[in-house]
Structure 1
Amino acid sequence: MISRLNSNQERVMALAALVQAAALVHQVASTGQADELASRCCLASLFVTSPESTEDVFGGGEAVNNLRLGLVTLKAIMGQDQSLGAREITRYVLGLTHLQGKLRKRPEMLNDISKQLSHSQRQVDLYELTHPNVFASVAETYSSTLSNFRFRIQVTGNPTYLQQPMNTNRVRSYLLAGIRATTLWRQVGGRKWQLVVFKNSLQRELDVLLSQLKPA
């Protein structure tokens, strides 16, 4: 992939996308609401199949702004934010990386996910990206594939919100987007041990990307 970012910035961007997906899961589970821009970015990333760069997965020239939630949340987590929300988001991130590791060993499941997302793309073409039918289609992809692993991500929050079918679909869609981001993170060289060994370097690159954010 051709990118204007250096290798560490690519890893930070992909990691921020993973964190953003986890943050959206937490938002829906705890409030029943989700950041609209972040939501569109995560969902759209599932349908970018031939990107020319890391940024292309998240909106090209608007990638940094599209990942605002993820970048800001990643900054808080790397700064050892001890709030309940940060701990829950971190738990989802770790769960997604573990689940993606299992998925890597199941090429037939990866193929199934790709085929089912092609069907979801037709839903996008018929309606629009954040239409309930699209969320339902993407959520079904997650349920029929990744939910078959013995390891499952336990989403916690307000039962009133979690029991609503639309919110269930949104949560599963964001989890699948998190798997997409984790896959990209590994493709650009991301590994868990780097978060410890190269933490200072990653934080510097994170600050560079944060400095590029447009005023909210």
Structure 2
Amino acid sequence: MAYSDRDRLIALAGIYQAVHCVMRIARHGSVDTAAVEPCLFSLFQVDADNVASVFGPPGAVSVGARKVIEQMTNTTERDMEPTRYVITLMKLEQRLAARPDLLAAIRAGIDEATVMLEHHALLDPAIFAHMADIYAKTISSLPPRIMVRGEPLHLNNPDNQNRIRALLLAGIRGAMLWRQTGGSRWQIIFGRRRLFDEAQGYLRQPAVHDR
């Protein structure tokens, strides 16, 4: 299947959106649920019809698209921490791709979570806890370890820890989609203009979760 620059932008925006949510929770203890929902939703989309539908309705990763634009705009004031997280998630996904045992464990865990959705809402603490457990038992065993920086008050909160791990797992899902659509570090380095233009185009479309 041939993928477009828009597909790659959506995948990259999905990673940046997950990272944005992680950083908001780590630094402030809260984050807009409209930004979190597409990230969690993506974990359950195993056989999506197209790349955009992995995250939900049009505009679902608008927050991530704006972060892509911020990181690709030449300014000495830009925050490089999000990009460091994104690069680490991409490295982790590459290592995960070589571990069929861990991939099978993640798939089994998500199947269990799918059953849980019959009795719990997508953003229910029980779903976050389950996804966090999947992350702890699989991704946490791979190098490099992600060291999330933030306020100790927020980082030591068990519910926040679960949300952060679940969102990092969603970031891995986005990184997998990025690789599957032909994304690479070269795309980010030499295809910045195309990704920037696609991000702007994505933000101009009617959006449901554009907050």
The whole-number CA distance in structure 2 between the counterparts of 1:35 and 1:52 is 27
Corresponding pairs, count: 209
The whole-number CA distance in structure 1 between the counterparts of 2:77 and 2:168 is 21
CA RMSD of aligned residues (A): 1.7
Assess, with a 3 A threshold, how the Cα gap between structure 1 residues 79 and 24 changes in structure 2: closer, same or farther.
same
Assess, with a 3 A threshold, how the Cα gap between structure 1 residues 95 and 204 changes in structure 2: closer, same or farther.
same
Determine if the alignment matches structure 1 residue 53 to structure 2 residue 46.
no
Assess, with a 3 A threshold, how the Cα gap between structure 1 residues 32 and 81 changes in structure 2: closer, same or farther.
farther
- Is there any run of 5+ residues in structure 2 with no aligned partner, and where? none
Determine if the alignment matches structure 1 residue 71 to structure 2 residue 37.
no
Given candidates 116, 119, 129, the residue that maps to 2:112 is 119
Assess, with a 3 A threshold, how the Cα gap between structure 1 residues 81 and 45 changes in structure 2: closer, same or farther.
farther
Higher RCO structure, 1 or 2 (CA under 8 Å, sep 6+):
2
**Cα pair 1:68 1:213 within 8 Å, conserved:** no
Assess, with a 3 A threshold, how the Cα gap between structure 1 residues 48 and 97 changes in structure 2: closer, same or farther.
same
**Cα pair 2:92 2:143 within 8 Å, conserved:** no
User: For residues 174-189 of structure 1, what are the structure 2 equivalents within 5 Å?
Assistant: 174-189=167-182
Note the alpha carbon deviations across 1:67-103, whole angstroms, 9 max, x for none.
111011111111145557x322111111101111110
| Range 170-179 or range 188-197, more displaced | 188-197
Assess, with a 3 A threshold, how the Cα gap between structure 1 residues 108 and 30 changes in structure 2: closer, same or farther.
same
Deviation at 1:150, TM superposition (A): 3.6
The whole-number CA distance in structure 1 between the counterparts of 2:114 and 2:202 is 30
User: For residues 82-161 of structure 1, what are the structure 2 equivalents within 5 Å?
Assistant: 82-83=76-77, 86-161=79-154
**Cα pair 2:58 2:206 within 8 Å, conserved:** no
Deviation at 1:121, TM superposition (A): 1.5
- Is there any run of 5+ residues in structure 1 with no aligned partner, and where? none
| Counterpart in the other structure of 2:30 | 33
Q: Which runs of 4+ in 1 moved over 2 A?
A: 80-84, 213-216
Q: TM-score, normalised by structure 1?
A: 0.92
Assess, with a 3 A threshold, how the Cα gap between structure 1 residues 158 and 183 changes in structure 2: closer, same or farther.
same
Query: SS of the residue aligned with 1:125?
Result: coil
Determine if the alignment matches structure 1 residue 22 to structure 2 residue 16.
no
Q: TM-score, normalised by structure 2?
A: 0.94
| Range 144-153 or range 126-135, more displaced | 144-153
Deviation at 1:17, TM superposition (A): 0.3
Assess, with a 3 A threshold, how the Cα gap between structure 1 residues 20 and 82 changes in structure 2: closer, same or farther.
farther
Counterpart of 1:105, as a letter, is A
The whole-number CA distance in structure 2 between the counterparts of 1:136 and 1:18 is 20
**Cα pair 1:11 1:188 within 8 Å, conserved:** yes
Assess, with a 3 A threshold, how the Cα gap between structure 1 residues 150 and 187 changes in structure 2: closer, same or farther.
closer
Which is helix-richer, 1 or 2? 1
Percent identity between the aligned chains?
34
Assess, with a 3 A threshold, how the Cα gap between structure 1 residues 158 and 82 changes in structure 2: closer, same or farther.
farther
Counterpart of 2:62, as a letter, is R
The whole-number CA distance in structure 2 between the counterparts of 1:108 and 1:99 is 15
Given candidates 7, 10, 14, the residue that maps to 1:13 is 10
